[in-house]
A and B are shown apart, each in its own frame.
Chain A
């Protein structure tokens, strides 16, 4: 158990819909990262937040957005969903964004868009 929690575990929705994925980092960790893992793309970094502010952006679509709240939990919002958005979405956390800090991953949310 990494100490990172994600909800829900599974999500099934239809194309065009909007969903919100939630992540609670390990106690004391200020940084939260979101990753997408699909069958054909592997594990891809989407976005990072540090202490409430966006820190780094990866391959995140404009239809996707994220935020980190004062209690440090984070939400990833996916809108206008397409079939290709079906994937595992992982959240990770670390103590801070500098240096060689280790990222600890949550169990993931499996999203299926029908």
Chain B
């Protein structure tokens, strides 16, 4: 399986961009990078996913390096409500939805 490595915690000032890194050096060519977040003990919330191109939606942007060995999730203007654990996940294989959640990054947005 491709595994991911994320820093355990990060802080960000409210209103600033939050850049959350993820390393996935053993990712395979057909594996997607997904980002989810979990606010307190709520159900994980889908944020964004991508294969090799950069992606943007109303919540965030995903930047994937050309060699696909790492990616960065960008929250352009972090708010206090973005305080959560952010999970970077590499899909094990197409057709298998067993998503392996690691420890994630605990992002704290400070006023």
Interface residues of A (CB under 8 A from B): 2, 4, 31, 33, 35, 42-45, 48, 55-56, 58, 88, 90, 92, 94, 97-108, 110
Contact = CB atoms under 8 A, between A and B. Distances in A.
Nearest to A59: B98
A88 B100 CA distance: 17
Contact of A105 (B34, B43, B94): B43
A108 B95 contact: no
Given A98-B95, A99-B94, A100-B51, A107 B43 contact: yes
Given A42-B103, A103-B99, 15 more contacts: A2-B43, A42-B101, A42-B102, A43-B101, A45-B98, A45-B100, A56-B98, A90-B43, A92-B43, A97-B97, A99-B94, A100-B32, A103-B46, A103-B97, A105-B45
25 contacts: A4-B43, A31-B97, A33-B97, A35-B101, A43-B44, A44-B101, A45-B99, A45-B100, A48-B97, A56-B96, A88-B41, A90-B44, A97-B97, A98-B95, A99-B95, A100-B49, A100-B51, A101-B97, A102-B34, A103-B99, A104-B46, A106-B43, A107-B42, A107-B43, A108-B42
B91 interface: yes
B98 A105 contact: no
Contacts, number: 61
Say whether chain A's binding surface is mostly helix, strand, loop, or mixed: strand
